[in-house]
């Protein structure tokens, strides 16, 4: 098992990529701390892990809160003695997000607080724990839109994910000699509740899907397998990477400089 005797903290673990990753990490031997603001769904994820013979616990955490982020890391160490993997995955995509003219300041601030500040706070409190464990892996969920921009305007989301890429690159350099690897997972368009609620008409879905060479939306479980690679020793020489798992969309539209 690729995460045997490891402790992994997954934010946004109640559904989507976070849920699938928590389940997969546990099946690969990790003790999982599942953090989310959705208590009932989070408890159900933990129950599913335990029913399969795994080890997990749920922690209520709003990643935009420093107090909550500090507590979720502390609970991981208190429960399991260490922290080896931090998956800063929690994020939002507000249906009111649009272009610069249409997007309200409230939507901008909320999106930045969760998607970008949440990653910063996870790292702020998670990195000292990884140091205490002798090193480890941080995975930050970004997005293909941070590289391409989105055909359907979602400016706050796109900007927040661009910030995640920049933050990831800098932290990977700063902590490389501490045996702490920091990588960004950049999913393409996924068939998750988060995206489908934003692409709420067939016209919006096709406008996004037409650009994907593989011709389909990705699955959360596919992102979980990518996160597993970045979390385990298979990626021991990988840090600072913008790891695109996107059905080929960036290959089709990004040209080398």
Q: What is the pLDDT of residues 69-115, one digit of tens each?
A: 999 999 999 999 999 999 999 999 998 999 999 999 999 999 999 99
Q: What local confidence, expressed as pLDDT, does residue 210 receive?
A: 82
Which domains, ranges and CATH numbers included, belong to the chain? 7-253 (3.40.50.720)
Find out whether 159 and 107 touch, Cβ atoms under 8 Å: no
> What mean pLDDT do residues 203-224 have?
88
Instruction: Using alpha carbons, select from 239, 244, 226 the residue that is nearest to residue 24.
Output: 226
> What mean pLDDT do residues 167-182 have?
98
Q: What local confidence, expressed as pLDDT, does residue 257 receive?
A: 61
pTM for the full predicted model: 0.95
Mean pLDDT of the chain: 95
Residue 200 has pLDDT above 80, yes or no: no
> What mean pLDDT do residues 133-152 have?
94
Torsions phi, psi for 26 (to 5 deg): -65, -40
Catalytic machinery residues? 157
Give the pLDDT band (50/70/90) at residue 199: confident
pLDDT higher at 208 or 157:
157
Q: Are strands 180-187 and 136-141 parallel, antiparallel or unpaired?
A: parallel
Torsions phi, psi for 253 (to 5 deg): -120, -15
Torsions phi, psi for 171 (to 5 deg): -65, -35
CA distances from 213 to 4, 250, 252 (A): 36, 9, 7
DSSP E strand stretches across 74-124 = 85-88
pLDDT, tens only, 20-30: 999 999 999 99
Instruction: Please report how the helices 118-132 and 155-174 are oriented relative to each other, as an axis angle in degrees rounded to 10.
Output: 20
Give the pLDDT band (50/70/90) at residue 126: very high
């Amino acid at each position: 098992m690729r995460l045997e005797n490891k402790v992994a903290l997954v934010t946004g673990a109640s559904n989507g990529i976070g849920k699938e990753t928590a389940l997969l990490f546990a099946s690969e031997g990790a003790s999982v701390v599942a953090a989310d603001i959705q208590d009932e769904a989070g408890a159900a994820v933990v129950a599913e892990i335990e029913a399969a013979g795994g080890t997990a616990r749920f922690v209520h955490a709003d990643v935009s809160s420093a107090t909550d982020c500090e507590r979720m890391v502390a609970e991981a160490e208190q429960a399991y003695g260490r922290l080896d993997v931090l998956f800063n995955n929690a994020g939002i995509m507000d249906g009111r997000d649009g272009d610069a003219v249409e997007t309200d300041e409230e939507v901008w601030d909320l999106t930045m607080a969760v998607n970008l500040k949440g990653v910063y706070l996870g790292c702020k409190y998670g990195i000292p724990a990884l140091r205490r464990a002798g090193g480890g892996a941080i995975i930050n969920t970004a997005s293909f839109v941070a590289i391409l921009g989105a055909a359907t305007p979602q400016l706050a989301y796109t900007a927040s994910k661009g910030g995640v890429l920049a933050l990831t690159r800098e932290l990977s350099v700063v902590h490389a000699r501490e045996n702490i690897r920091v990588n960004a997972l950049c999913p393409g368009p996924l068939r998750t509740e988060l995206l489908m609620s934003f692409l709420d008409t067939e016209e919006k879905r096709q406008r996004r899907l037409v650009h994907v060479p593989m011709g389909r939306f990705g699955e959360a479980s596919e992102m979980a397998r990518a996160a597993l690679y970045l979390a385990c020793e298979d990626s021991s020489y990988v840090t600072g990477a913008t790891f695109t798992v996107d059905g080929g969309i960036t290959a089709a539209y990004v040209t080398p400089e």
